[in-house]
Chain A
């Protein structure tokens, strides 16, 4: 099976702009989670989508949003970018059939630089 794919891999934006990141989960996986990774804050959970619905949410401002499509692909949007949004954004997928027991499979990430 193909792994989790994320596009684009690298992105440069300026403050105030918005950005959309894409994630394609492993075939058959219905849950997609997003994480932000920064040197200062480490790995932080953004949100999880399952069956096109947001099921869990982390402590991020409303500028961070996401959605999931019927084919389980997910997009994450960040509006009004700030310098502090520069990070590696990781997407992870899982079957989500047995709660937290499942392994989350991570994509390679999208590295966002905000200037």
Chain B
């Protein structure tokens, strides 16, 4: 079985400050890892994904994430946030060869001026 834990339900941060959103997962099989963002009243948009290879993955809007297999983590980072980054962020995993996503409970990022 798979599960995803996002440790912080809300993260307040000032504009231009760095941010890290934490994600830990549990799985009995190998998985692919994803981060999605959801703006108010919209669907989910892919930020980045880890399939294999380099553990540091770069995504859109200046976000990056690092896969740590030993700690089963896939934390999302951005060195300098903008007001427009205010949204809810979801970490997700899907087992190899399955098209079934397991999502974390989400982290609301609130960027303050």
| A contact set with B: CB distance below 8 Å | 4, 31, 33, 35, 42-45, 48, 50, 55-56, 58, 90, 92, 94, 96, 99-109
Q: Count of B residues near A, CB < 8 Å?
A: 27
A103 CA / B44 CA spacing, docked (Å)? 11
One of B16-24, B61-69, B72-80, B93-101 at the interface: B93-101
B26 at the interface (CB under 8 A from A): no
- A109 near B46 with CB under 8 A, answer no
Question: Which are the 8 A-B pairs with shortest beta-carbon distances?
Answer: A106-B43, A100-B94, A43-B103, A99-B97, A106-B44, A56-B100, A42-B105, A108-B43
A31-B99, A108-B43 known; A43-B90 Cβ under 8 A: yes
Closest to A111 in B: B41
**Known contacts A4-B43, A101-B32; A45 and B49 CB within 8 A of each other:** no
CA distance A81 to B15 in the complex (A): 43
Nearest B residue to A40 via CB reads B105
- Minimum Cβ distance to chain A for residue B16 (Å): 29
- Contact among A43, A90, A94, A105 for B99, CB-based, below 8 A: A94
